[in-house]
Amino acid sequence: MLKHAKPEARAAAAKAVGRRGVHFEKELLELLSDESAVVQQAAHRALVQLARGQDFGPAIDATDHERAEAIRRWREWLAKMAK
């Protein structure tokens, strides 16, 4: 469902992943650059839940550069967690 054609379905799936604590961090990272702002924010909130409150962004009004930087920080965090 995280790759569903409808943004509403992708957002709902991201919320469910965060709520249930399912470790789909890599998939959620991809959604941070989704075309839908609703999906982006759902993925962000789910990542914060999975990271137990750590928040690397992006903010709702982030620029493309800020969003890319947030994604880079989330990837670094995920790489550290995999060790």
The number of domains in the chain is 1
Question: Residue 82: what pLDDT?
Answer: 85
What pTM was estimated for this model as a whole? 0.95
pLDDT tier for residue 83 given thresholds of 50, 70 and 90: confident
Mean pLDDT of all residues belonging to the chain: 96
- 61 burial level (CB within 10 Å; 0-12, 13-18, 19+): exposed
CB 1 within 8 A of CB 12: yes
- The two tokens of residue 16 are 């469910």
CA distance 83 to 79: 7
CA distance 70 to 45: 13
Question: Residue 32: what pLDDT?
Answer: 97
Give the pLDDT confidence of 24-46 residue by residue, as tens digits.
999 999 999 999 999 999 999 99
Which structural domain range is residue 35 located in?
7-82
pLDDT at 70 over 90: yes
Residue at 2 is within a domain = no
Considering only CA atoms, give the Rg of the chain: 12
